[in-house]
Every structure is written in C-alpha cells, then in structure tokens.
C-alpha cells in the first residue's frame, strides 16, 4: 500500500476502491487579444511550436473555440520551463491539441507536483509525460490516484510501480473497473488462476492484464483451440506468450516441430511445460533442433520429455558443453551418454567444479572453452 510520500494527496486503501470515475480537463478560453480568424491557431502552431502547415491545420480543428493565444502561451511556457520542447512538445500537442486550453495553475501545476511527490525525479517526470502524454489528462483524485493505488498493490511495491512508470505507462490508461478487475476475475473464475499467480506475470508485463477483456477471452479460446488446458500451471504464461507472439509465428513453430516428427499432442506437452520457446525466431529454433537431434543425437520424444533443452542457450550452454563432453569422451572420461541432458542443464558453477577444473591441467582446451563462454 502507498506509504506517505505524497504531501497533498491521501491514497485510498485497495479494499475501498469500489468505484473509479474518469474526468479530463475542461477547455478554457483565454482572455487576451481577440481574433475571429478561424485559422489564427494554424499560424500560431507553425510559428510557436514548429508544426508543418498540414500538422497545424489538423491540430487547430480542436482549438477553433479559442479567441486568444493567452492560455496556449501560458501552457507552452509551463511545458518549456520543465524541459518539454521541440519534438516532445509537438508530440504532446498532436496527441491532444486541447492541452493548450488547460489551466496551468489549477491543472498542470498540481499534476506535475503530484508526480514529483510520488517519487519521480524531474528528468523522470519529463520522460514519463513526453512518452505517455495521456497521463496529464487524467484527473488526479478521481482517476490517476486510484489507478496508481491499485497498481502499486498489484506490483507489491512502490519501487516496482516507479520502475514501470519510467519504462511504460500505458497500462495506466486502462480502467480499473472495466478492464483490470474483470480480467483478474476472469482468470480466477474461469481459468483457475488466483491473483497471487497472476501477480507473477503482472510484475514483469503489466500490459498483459491491461488489455481489453474481450482480447483476453480470445487468447484463452485460442489456447484451448490449440489443445492446451487451463489445468497446466504454466497456462498463465502460455496466455502471456500468445499475447506477445503472433498467430502466424506460432503456426510456423508448429510446422517446424512437426517436421522433426512431433505430433500435436507432443507439442501441447512441450508448450505446457516450457512455452517460452515460442518466443524464439523460427530460424533459431530450427538451428537448435537440428543441433539437438542431428549433432547430439537426442530423439524428438526425448526432447518432448525434457523441453527445458529448448530454452537453454545454444551458443553459451549447449554447444560448448557438448564440446567438453566430446573431449572427455575421447579420453575415456565420459561414460554417461544417458545423462547428457543433465550435463547440459547443471549450473555453471557445478559444471566448472565437476568437469573443467579437475582436468584443466591435463586438457587446457577445456578451460579455453569455459573461458570463451564466460567472455
């Protein structure tokens, strides 16, 4: 739960968040020198912000109610005083031309201060806002504050919340009541995935739970259509990977693995145990399978039972350790072909202690291989 670092805003406890309301800033007309020329803002955007005529004409359509540049002048001065200028300023105005109508004192200043009080440095603040300009349009008390409260609860710490605010903020654009809660409830009620397990994915990829609920349901249907079951403890990660990987890429992986003799049932077994191989490029997966099957001699059924082999690094783990095994085998020091997969999977330190250091003086090549991998 958010502890007290925000001086002007009291954060609500998660159980109290029964209703989230949304509000955006109301347009304000300036009171300076009047102008009834419907195109005066086009010239203003070109001269003051560096817009092209085409860009300015498009943006000015949202500003036709203005009769003065007084408020836009104040907004531009405020943004520039915080280091938001040039391309970043044009990006913000293009995204929401109405931001030039916001009141600096009652709208922008409190929001910037709120984000500072949250724990963002000045440079972080500028970065967050220029990458995610929508955040400035959120009402602090009705929207931004409750959403931050819920997301911090889901992340489990302020540090993780700030990390993702600096990295990507668009998950904050999703409604808690209409998107986040329904998705979490759906995973819990229809996929047997409790919040504790869902949090494991959330802490790495918050956008997964911030997707449209219909899209999440479609992902589940897609997974089931592939023959995968919600009973797998990896089902949540499977959904997350399908969220990131295109249907075409998954189909290409299926086609490739079938070419090595795997059945659809065996593919389901592999995915339910180790779905992360679906994120690899098809060419990389082909090279790895060819090495495992043709060079090492593993059968496809052997790999199905030990799918972790598919996610081990080919360059840093599989190939160099296979080279070590070949050297030991040629000297009569390797007699455990049936345990080669364990040889590949053992930790680096254990591998070094058991297979490199005992023979480093007699076979310097082993240490060379190990050192090359470390580099």
pLDDT for the residue numbered 268: 95
Q: Which of 152, 149, 150 is nearest to 164 (CA)?
A: 152
Is residue 203 domain-resident?
Answer: no
pLDDT for the residue numbered 29: 41
Interatomic CA distance for residues 241 and 186, integer angstroms: 18
End-of-domain residue from the set 104, 130, 165: 165
In the structure encoding, which two tokens stand for residue 74, read together?
């104040």
Tens digit of pLDDT for each residue in 217-248?
Answer: 999 999 999 999 998 889 999 999 999 999 99
Q: CATH number for the domain including 121? A: 1.25.70.10
pLDDT for the residue numbered 7: 42
Task: Provide the domain count of the chain.
Answer: 2
End-of-domain residue from the set 132, 165, 198: 165
Interatomic CA distance for residues 13 and 152, integer angstroms: 11
pLDDT for the residue numbered 336: 64
Contacts of 122 (CB under 8 A, 6+ apart): 82, 83, 116
Is residue 62 domain-resident?
Answer: yes
End-of-domain residue from the set 147, 165, 183: 165
Q: Which of 242, 258, 254, 262 is nearest to 304 (CA)?
A: 262
Is residue 247 domain-resident?
Answer: no
pLDDT for the residue numbered 291: 96
Is residue 289 domain-resident?
Answer: no
Is residue 3 domain-resident?
Answer: no
Interatomic CA distance for residues 303 and 292, integer angstroms: 8
Name the stretches of the chain with pLDDT < 50.
1, 3-36, 38, 338
In the structure encoding, which two tokens stand for residue 200, read together?
């494991």
Interatomic CA distance for residues 49 and 46, integer angstroms: 6
Single pTM value for the model: 0.77
pLDDT for the residue numbered 8: 43
Is residue 114 domain-resident?
Answer: yes
Is residue 184 domain-resident?
Answer: no
Contacts of 320 (CB under 8 A, 6+ apart): 369, 370, 372, 373
Is residue 157 domain-resident?
Answer: yes
Q: Which domain holds residue 90?
A: 14-165
């Amino acid at each position: 739960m958010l502890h007290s670092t925000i001086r002007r805003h009291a954060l609500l406890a998660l159980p109290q968040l029964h209703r989230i309301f949304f509000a955006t800033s109301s347009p304000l007309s300036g009171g300076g020198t009047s102008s009834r020329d419907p195109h005066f803002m086009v010239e203003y955007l070109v001269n003051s912000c560096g817009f092209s005529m085409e860009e300015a004409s498009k943006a000015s359509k949202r500003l036709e109610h203005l009769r003065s540049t007084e408020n836009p002048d104040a907004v531009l001065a405020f943004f520039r005083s915080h280091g938001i200028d040039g391309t970043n300023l044009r990006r913000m105005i293009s995204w929401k031309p109405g931001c030039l109508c916001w009141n600096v004192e009652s709208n922008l200043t409190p929001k910037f201060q709120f984000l500072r009080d949250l724990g963002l440095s000045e440079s972080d603040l500028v970065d967050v806002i220029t990458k995610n300009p929508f955040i400035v349009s959120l009402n602090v008390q009705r929207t931004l504050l409750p959403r931050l409260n819920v997301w911090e609860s889901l992340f489990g710490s302020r540090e993780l919340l700030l990390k993702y605010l600096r990295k990507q903020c668009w998950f904050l654009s999703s409604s808690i009541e209409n998107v986040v809660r329904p998705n979490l409830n759906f995973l819990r009620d229809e996929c047997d995935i409790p919040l504790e397990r869902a949090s494991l994915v959330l802490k790495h990829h918050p956008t997964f739970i911030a997707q449209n609920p219909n899209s999440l349901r479609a992902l589940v249907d897609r997974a089931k259509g592939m023959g995968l079951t919600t009973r797998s403890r990896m089902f949540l990660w499977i959904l997350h990977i399908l969220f990131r990987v295109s249907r075409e890429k998954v189909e290409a992986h299926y086609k490739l693995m079938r070419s090595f003799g795997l059945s659809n049932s065996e593919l389901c077994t592999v995915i339910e145990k180790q779905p992360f191989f679906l994120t690899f490029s098809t060419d990389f997966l082909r090279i790895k399978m060819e090495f495992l099957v043709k060079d090492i001699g593993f059968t496809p059924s052997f790999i199905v039972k030990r799918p972790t082999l598919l996610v081990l690094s080919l360059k840093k783990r599989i190939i160099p350790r296979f080279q070590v095994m070949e050297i030991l085998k040629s000297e009569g020091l390797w007699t455990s072909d049936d345990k080669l997969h364990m040889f590949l999977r053992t930790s680096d330190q254990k591998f070094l202690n058991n297979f490199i250091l005992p023979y480093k003086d007699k076979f310097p090549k082993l240490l060379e291989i190990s050192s090359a991998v470390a580099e």
